[in-house]
């Protein structure tokens, strides 16, 4: 469980740089939310494993293993950067996907 906790600590330490990247690339926000979701699930599993060990539950090894496997075997999403032309194209495509090719006229 120590190795998994160290890996989670590294994921959390890398987050500030990911937030800084969103200022340069608006598409990174979606990827950042995926990373944040993975980290949140990891913290919840860690908290449950610690609680399980402290309260001496019979299946605490299963809870600790669930945390370790989530952190070590499930790779968190990564921040993929793209050049500004690709970002502009993708943002336009996202807009069209949500709002259609024509904007509503009120």
With tokens 């309260």, the residue in question is: 55
- Give the model's pLDDT for residue 61: 92
Calpha distance 60→31 (Å, rounded): 32
Using the predicted structure, report yes or no on whether residue 105 has a pLDDT greater than 90: no
Over range 47-51, report the average pLDDT: 95
- Give the model's pLDDT for residue 22: 66
- Give the model's pLDDT for residue 43: 94
Using the predicted structure, report yes or no on whether residue 38 has a pLDDT greater than 80: yes
pLDDT tens for each residue of 6-29: 888 888 888 887 777 666 676 777
Using the predicted structure, report yes or no on whether residue 50 has a pLDDT greater than 90: yes
- Name residues whose C-beta falls within 8 Å of residue 8's C-beta, 6 or more positions apart in sequence: 39, 42, 43, 46, 71
* Integer CA distances (angstroms), 31 to 19, 26, 62, in order: 10, 10, 30
pLDDT tens for each residue of 63-102: 999 999 999 887 776 666 555 667 778 777 877 887 776 6
* Integer CA distances (angstroms), 77 to 39, 57, 89, 92, in order: 10, 32, 22, 23
């Amino acid at each position: 469980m120590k190795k998994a906790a160290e890996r989670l600590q590294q994921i959390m330490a890398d987050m500030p740089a990911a937030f800084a990247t969103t200022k340069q690339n608006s598409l990174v926000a979606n990827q950042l939310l995926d990373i944040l979701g993975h980290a949140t699930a990891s913290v919840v599993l860690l908290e449950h494993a610690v609680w399980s060990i402290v309260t001496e539950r019979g299946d605490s090894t299963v809870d600790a293993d669930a945390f370790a496997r989530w952190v070590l075997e499930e790779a968190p999403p990564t921040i993929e950067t793209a050049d500004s032309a690709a970002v502009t194209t993708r943002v336009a495509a996202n807009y069209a996907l949500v709002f259609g090719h024509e904007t509503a006229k009120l």
